[in-house]
Structure 1
Amino acid sequence: MSVSTHVLDSVSGRPAAGVAVRLFAGEELAGEGVTDADGRCRPAEGVTAPGAHRLVFATGPWFAGQGRDTFYPEVVLTFDVREPTEHHHVPLLLAPFAYSTYRGS
Structure 2
Amino acid sequence: MSGAESSPLTTHVLNTGDGAPAARLALSLHLLDSSTKIWNMLTVGTTNTDGRCPGLISRAAFTPGTYKLRFETGQYWDAMGQTSFYPYVEVVFTITEPEKRFHIPLLMSRFSYSTYRGS
Q: Percent identity?
A: 40
Say whether 1:11 aligns with 2:23: no
Q: 1:46 aligns with which of 49, 59, 79?
A: 59
The higher radius of gyration belongs to 2
Aligned counterparts of 1:87 and 1:33: Cα–Cα separation in 2? 19
Richer in strand (by share): 1
| Equivalent residue pairs, number | 105
Say whether 1:2 aligns with 2:15: no
Runs of 4+ displaced beyond 3 Å: none
CA contact (8 A) 1:23 1:31 kept: yes
Instruction: Show structure 2 runs of 5+ residues with no match.
Output: 1-6, 33-38
Q: 1:73 aligns with which of 73, 87, 106?
A: 87
Cα offset for 1:104? 0.7
Amino acid at match of 1:101: T
Aligned counterparts of 1:77 and 1:104: Cα–Cα separation in 2? 13
Aligned counterparts of 1:101 and 1:69: Cα–Cα separation in 2? 21
Aligned counterparts of 1:22 and 1:49: Cα–Cα separation in 2? 17
Aligned counterparts of 1:94 and 1:45: Cα–Cα separation in 2? 27
Say whether 1:34 aligns with 2:46: yes
| 1:4-61 CA-partner distances (Å, limit 9, x unpaired) | 1000000110000000110001112122211000000132222322121000001111
Query: What TM-score do the two structures reach when normalised by structure 2?
Result: 0.83
CA contact (8 A) 1:32 1:44 kept: no
Query: What TM-score do the two structures reach when normalised by structure 1?
Result: 0.94
